[in-house]
Structure 1
Amino acid sequence: MAEAHSAVAFSFNVTHEGVDVRYNHEALRAVWFSGLHSWKLRFIRFKNRCVNILYPAPPASLFLLTALVMGLQLYSEQDLSYGMIEFFTGFFPECVHDSCEVMAAFFFGVAVWILCVLLWRYTLKLLLLNHSWMYSPFGKMSLPNKLWVALVKLLNGTNPLLYSFQSALPKLPVPSLSSTKKRYLQSIRPLLNDVEYERLSKLAEEFFGGIGNKLQRYLILKSWWSTNYVTDWWEEYVYLRGRSPIMVNSNYYGLDVIFVQPTNRQAARAGNLVYAFLQFRERIDHETLQPLLVNKTVPLDSVQYERLFNTTRIPGVETDVLLHVNGVSHITVLSRGRYYKVYTHDHGHLMHPKDFERMFQEILDDKSSALKGEEKLAALTAGERVAWAKARKSFFATGVNKASLTAIEKSGFVLVLDEECYDYNAEDPSELNRFAKSMLHGKCLDRWFDKSFTLVVSANARVGFNAEHSWADAPVVAQVWEEFVATDLEILGYTEDGHCQGAVSARELRPIRLQWDIPSECLDVAESSLRVAQAIAADVDLHIQVHQEFGKGVIKKCRISPDAFIQLALQVAYFRDAGRFCLTYEASMTRLFREGRTETVRSCTIDSCAFVRAFCEEERSTEELKQLLHVACETHQNGYRDAMTGKGIDRHMFCLYVVSKYLGVDSPFLSEVLSEPWRLSTSQTPHSQMNKINLALYPDHVCTGGGFGPVSDDGYGVSYIIAGENMIFFHVSSKISCPNTNSREFGKKVVTAMADIRRLCGQ
Structure 2
Amino acid sequence: MMSRTKVLPYLIENRFHVFARNKECLNFIKLQRYSYHGSEGDIQYIQNSVVPTMHFQDSLPRLPIPELDKTCERYITALMPITPSERLQNTIKIVEKFKCEEGKELQEELKASNSRNKHTSYISGPWFDMYLKSRSPLVLNFNPFLAFKDDPKKEFNTQLIKATNMLLSSLRFMKSLRAEILEPEVYHLNPEKSDTPFFRKLMRLMPRKFAWYGAYLFKAFPLDMSQFNNLFNSTRIPRVGKDEIQVFPEARHVIVLRNGHFYTFDVLDGDGNIMPPAYIFSLMSYILTDSCPPPSHPISYLTTENRDTWAEARNHLEKLGNAEQLKLIDSAIFVLSLDDESLQEDLVKSAHHMLHGPAYNRWFDKSFTLIITKDGKAAINFEHAWGDGVAVLRYFNEIYSDSIKNHFVRPKTVPANIDASHRVRRLDFVLDEAIQSSVQNARDKLAQQTNNLQFNILQYSQMNRESIKQNKLSPDSVAQLGLQMAYYKINGNFVATYESCSTSAFKHGRTETVRPVTKATKRCVEEFHKSNPATSAEMRALLKECTKVHNQLTKEAAMGQGFDRHLFGLRYMAEKHNHKLPALYQDPVYLEANHFILSTSTLFGPAFSGGGFAPVVPDGFGIGYGFLEDTMGFLVSSYSPYRNGEEFVNALKESFDQIHKVLEKS
Alignment-derived partner of residue 365 in structure 1: 289
Within 2, Cα distance between the matches of 1:203 and 1:418? Answer: 54
Matched, 1:539 2:441: no
Cα distance, 1:708 vs structure 2: 0.8
Within 2, Cα distance between the matches of 1:220 and 1:133? Answer: 23
From 221, 228, 231, the counterpart of 1:308: 231
Alpha carbons of structure 1 residues 135 and 263: separation in structure 2 relative to 1, 3 Å: closer
Within 2, Cα distance between the matches of 1:435 and 1:639? Answer: 34
Matched, 1:268 2:161: yes
Cα distance, 1:279 vs structure 2: 1.2
From 615, 629, 642, the counterpart of 1:710: 615
Within 2, Cα distance between the matches of 1:543 and 1:474? Answer: 23
Matched, 1:341 2:264: yes
Superposed CA deviations along residues 150-195 of structure 1, whole A, max 9, x for unmatched, are xxxxxxxx93222111111111111111101111111111112221
Instruction: Say which structure, 1 or 2, has more relative contact order (CA 8 Å, 6+ apart).
Output: 2
1:744-755 equivalent positions in 2, closer than 5 A: 744-755=646-657
Within 2, Cα distance between the matches of 1:671 and 1:223? Answer: 26
Within 1, Cα distance between the matches of 2:259 and 2:418? Answer: 29
From 432, 437, 446, the counterpart of 2:347: 432
Q: Which amino acid aligns with 1:403?
A: E
Cα distance, 1:233 vs structure 2: 0.5
Alpha carbons of structure 1 residues 581 and 249: separation in structure 2 relative to 1, 3 Å: same
Alignment-derived partner of residue 441 in structure 1: 356
Residues 332, 413 of structure 1: 8 Å contact kept = yes
Within 2, Cα distance between the matches of 1:303 and 1:182? Answer: 32
Q: Secondary structure at the match of 1:346?
A: coil
Q: Which amino acid aligns with 1:478?
A: L
User: Identity rate of aligned residues, in percent?
Assistant: 28
Structure 1 stretch displaced more, 594-603 or 667-676: 667-676
Matched, 1:253 2:145: yes
Superposed CA deviations along residues 196-242 of structure 1, whole A, max 9, x for unmatched, are 111111111111111110111001111212210011101112x1111
Within 2, Cα distance between the matches of 1:464 and 1:525? Answer: 28
Cα distance, 1:709 vs structure 2: 0.6
| RMSD over aligned Cα atoms | 2.3
Alignment-derived partner of residue 72 in structure 1: none
Alignment-derived partner of residue 34 in structure 2: none
Alignment-derived partner of residue 231 in structure 1: 124
Alpha carbons of structure 1 residues 539 and 352: separation in structure 2 relative to 1, 3 Å: farther
Alignment-derived partner of residue 219 in structure 1: 110
Residues 166, 594 of structure 1: 8 Å contact kept = yes
Within 2, Cα distance between the matches of 1:604 and 1:721? Answer: 19
Within 2, Cα distance between the matches of 1:230 and 1:257? Answer: 34
Alignment-derived partner of residue 314 in structure 2: 392
Q: Secondary structure at the match of 1:704?
A: strand
From 446, 456, 464, the counterpart of 1:551: 464
- Flag structure 2 segments of 5+ consecutive residues without an equivalent: 19-48, 192-219
> Radius of gyration: which is bigger?
1
1:405-554 equivalent positions in 2, closer than 5 A: 405-424=326-345, 431-492=346-407, 495=410, 498=411, 504=416, 510-554=423-467
Q: Which amino acid aligns with 1:587?
A: S
Within 2, Cα distance between the matches of 1:506 and 1:523? Answer: 37
Q: Which amino acid aligns with 1:355?
A: Y
Q: Which amino acid aligns with 1:302?
A: M
- Length-normalised TM-score, structure 1: 0.75
Count of matched residue pairs: 595
Residues 654, 674 of structure 1: 8 Å contact kept = no
Matched, 1:170 2:82: no
Q: Which amino acid aligns with 2:344?
A: D
Q: Which amino acid aligns with 1:328?
A: A
Matched, 1:330 2:271: no
Cα distance, 1:286 vs structure 2: 1.1
Cα distance, 1:745 vs structure 2: 3.1
1:58-97 equivalent positions in 2, closer than 5 A: none
Superposed CA deviations along residues 625-645 of structure 1, whole A, max 9, x for unmatched, are 111111111000000000000
Alignment-derived partner of residue 732 in structure 1: 636
Alignment-derived partner of residue 70 in structure 2: 179
Residues 543, 744 of structure 1: 8 Å contact kept = yes
Matched, 1:680 2:598: yes
Within 2, Cα distance between the matches of 1:460 and 1:602? Answer: 40
Residues 8, 559 of structure 2: 8 Å contact kept = no
Superposed CA deviations along residues 19-69 of structure 1, whole A, max 9, x for unmatched, are xxxxxxxxxxxxxxxxxxxxxxxxxxxxxxxxxxxxxxxxxxxxxxxxxxx
Matched, 1:578 2:491: yes
Q: Secondary structure at the match of 1:761?
A: helix
Cα distance, 1:445 vs structure 2: 2.3
Q: Secondary structure at the match of 1:171?
A: coil
Alignment-derived partner of residue 564 in structure 1: 477
Cα distance, 1:595 vs structure 2: 0.4
Cα distance, 1:126 vs structure 2: 6.4
Q: Secondary structure at the match of 2:347?
A: helix
- Flag structure 1 segments of 5+ consecutive residues without an equivalent: 1-118, 139-157, 425-430, 688-692, 694-701
- Length-normalised TM-score, structure 2: 0.85
Cα distance, 1:609 vs structure 2: 0.5
